[in-house]
Amino acid sequence: MADAAKPATLFEKIWRRHVVVDRPDGYTLLYIDRHLIHDGSYFAFQRLKNRGLKMRRPDLSFGTPDHYMPTNTRNKEDVTNPDSKRMVTGLAINGAEHGVTVFDIGDRRNGIVHVVGPEQGITLPGITLVCGDSHTSTHGAMGCLAFGIGSSEVTHVMATQSLWQKKPKTMRIDIDGALGFGITGKDVILAIIAKIGTAGGTGHVFEFAGSGIRQLSMEGRLTLCNMSIEGGGRAGMIAPDDKTFAYIAGKPYAPKGAAWDKALVEWKALPSDAGASFDSDVRLSGPDIAPMVTFGTSPEDAVPITDRVPDPSTAKDATKREGLTRALAYMGLTPGTAITDIKIDRVFIGSCTNSRIEDIRAAAAVAKGRKAVVPSWIVPGSGIIKEQAEAEGLDKVFKEAGFEWREAGCSMCLGTNGEIGHPQERIASTSNRNFVGRQGKGVRTHLVSPAMAAAAAVSGHFTDVRRMKV
């Protein structure tokens, strides 16, 4: 074990505290404090059962069905596909059998797993958290180590509450200087991925730091860490600070009273020590970040709204050139087209990336007093967020502006619940992946922030939201 006096990173501090066994071959059995499950965990439960195993610590697992439930209904009977229905209904059944807390469909606490964890105070600074979903990196915004795992590893955690891990490398990503007006966590992470590439962080855990990060709200930080995986990093982390503690205080599963005071002392000791070293360092200038829009089929294909669709012939190598050419053909875009000249057919505001109350408010501020000119959906991240937005009258703002106000769930981010676009349909989406076919076969996805998506909804094309009166 490393010398305790040596300056340590946030990651290193959490890692050290969770080592169950260090093997001489470099593998560590890492203890898992929280395990989040969802309707997609169905097969992992099945595997556990087939092996005759029990969950070791059902009290440390929390479930919420999100991937397979349509967002125009809260009745599980409305799930028409029998395979999907089995996944949605299976979670509550498996949860009851194993003694796991499940926020089922119909419970106001139900929602997208990566929204529900922080919202319920299940996600806390200093813990290890895993989930069978790559966007588990989201939770690192609370100052914990959180990463996505495969279905076999889900079964492993169910049976042993631990995972075999090789210690990842660390990368510090500094955002120097204040972000400009109207710049969100989404713009920051897209700018980072455009710089480092979609494999830039492979094998690394990111720590996002610098004044540009401190400035972000918890919602903005969750968005930022959410897309760490799109930069290749399995986990993204942000040191907890007063904003973090204020967000957690009073949440249902957060520590209370004396336990809170004790936790706070520990949490305040978590940030990386001065002089702690990282395996690599990346810096971006905060003031230089503009609202970002993706034009291709990889999240690294992102440019500022003021820019144009790039020319593949300027790509740095043959692989990139071929990739860009293929991407532009799929996207139906011509090099040199101004991003603001790209017309859209549909808008999706939601997903574990951008469905929190601040996201909904930002979209509503743009929608207010305007009219959507394309079909536009707002899908809140949880029942609680939906209630809060309704209490603030935001649902009315959206309805008056011709947006569709829906129930919580993953929805059109990946369409496992049947909510997908049409072939060649061009969607401005606040989700996380613009992959080929991600939102439906042939669908052309452009990733943007909620305000930018709402601006596109009311304009019919991409628009610099900073130029709109909000």
Partner 1 sequence: MAQDKDPQEKVPARKPFTSVTAVAAPINQANVDTDQIIPARFLSLPREKMSPHLFRDVRYNDNGSPKPEFVLNKPAYKNAQIIVAERNFACGSSREMAVTVIQDNGFKSVIAPSFGDIFFNNCFQNGVLPVMLPEARVNQLLRFLLELPGAEITVDLPTQTVKGPDGMVDTFEIDSFRKDCLLKGIDEIAMTLGYEADIAAFEKKQRSANG
**Span of 194-202, 211-219, 242-250, 459-467 interacting with partner 1 by CB under 8 A:** 194-202
Cα separation, 352 vs 312, whole angstroms: 31
When asked if residue 70 is in the footprint of partner 1 (CB under 8 A), the reply is no
CB 306 within 8 A of CB 464: yes
Q: Which is nearer to partner 1, 386 or 438 (CB)?
A: 438
Binding partner 1 (rule: CB under 8 A), the pick from 93, 315, 373, 436 is 436
- Least distance from C-beta 47 to partner 1, angstroms? 9
When asked if residue 155 is in the footprint of partner 1 (CB under 8 A), the reply is yes
Number of residues lying near partner 1 (CB under 8 A): 62
CB 291 within 8 A of CB 305: yes
Cα separation, 303 vs 463, whole angstroms: 13
* 69 phi, psi to nearest 5 deg: -90, 125
Full DSSP string of 165-224: EEPPEEEEEEEESPPPTT--HHHHHHHHHHHH-TTTTTTEEEEEESHHHHTS-HHHHHHH
Give the list of residues 6+ apart from residue 24 with CB closer than 8 angstroms, or none. Answer: none
- Binding mask 296-325 toward partner 1 (x if CB under 8 A, else -) reads --x--------------------xx-xx--
When asked if residue 40 is in the footprint of partner 1 (CB under 8 A), the reply is yes
CB 167 within 8 A of CB 29: no
- Least distance from C-beta 353 to partner 1, angstroms? 14
Binding partner 1 (rule: CB under 8 A), the pick from 161, 353, 382, 411 is 161
Q: Which is nearer to partner 1, 152 or 280 (CB)?
A: 152
**Span of 100-108, 127-135, 175-183, 393-401 interacting with partner 1 by CB under 8 A:** 127-135
Cα separation, 128 vs 31, whole angstroms: 7
Binding partner 1 (rule: CB under 8 A), the pick from 140, 148, 240, 304 is 148
Supply 26's token pair.
Answer: 């470099």
CB 62 within 8 A of CB 169: no
Give the list of residues 6+ apart from residue 182 with CB closer than 8 angstroms, or none. Answer: 291, 451, 465, 466
- Binding mask 236-265 toward partner 1 (x if CB under 8 A, else -) reads ------------------------------
Distance, CA of 110 to chain centre: 17
**Span of 174-182, 184-192, 331-339, 410-418 interacting with partner 1 by CB under 8 A:** 410-418
Q: Which is nearer to partner 1, 72 or 217 (CB)?
A: 72
When asked if residue 93 is in the footprint of partner 1 (CB under 8 A), the reply is no
- Least distance from C-beta 167 to partner 1, angstroms? 11
Residues 15-34 that bind partner 1 (CB under 8 A): 20-21, 23, 25-27, 29, 31
Distance, CA of 73 to chain centre: 24
Place of tokens 């291709």: 296
Full DSSP string of 289-303: ---EEE-SSSTT-EE
When asked if residue 59 is in the footprint of partner 1 (CB under 8 A), the reply is no
**Span of 176-184, 199-207, 355-363, 448-456 interacting with partner 1 by CB under 8 A:** 199-207
When asked if residue 223 is in the footprint of partner 1 (CB under 8 A), the reply is no
- Tell me the H-state helices in 210-317: 211-214, 218-226, 242-248, 257-268
Binding partner 1 (rule: CB under 8 A), the pick from 109, 156, 172, 386 is 156
The footprint of partner 1 (CB under 8 A) covers 20-21, 23, 25-27, 29, 31, 40, 42-43, 51-53, 56, 68, 81, 83-84, 86-87, 132-134, 148-153, 155-156, 159-162, 164, 166, 198-199, 202-203, 229-230, 232, 234, 298, 319-320, 322-323, 326, 414-416, 420, 433, 435-438, 441
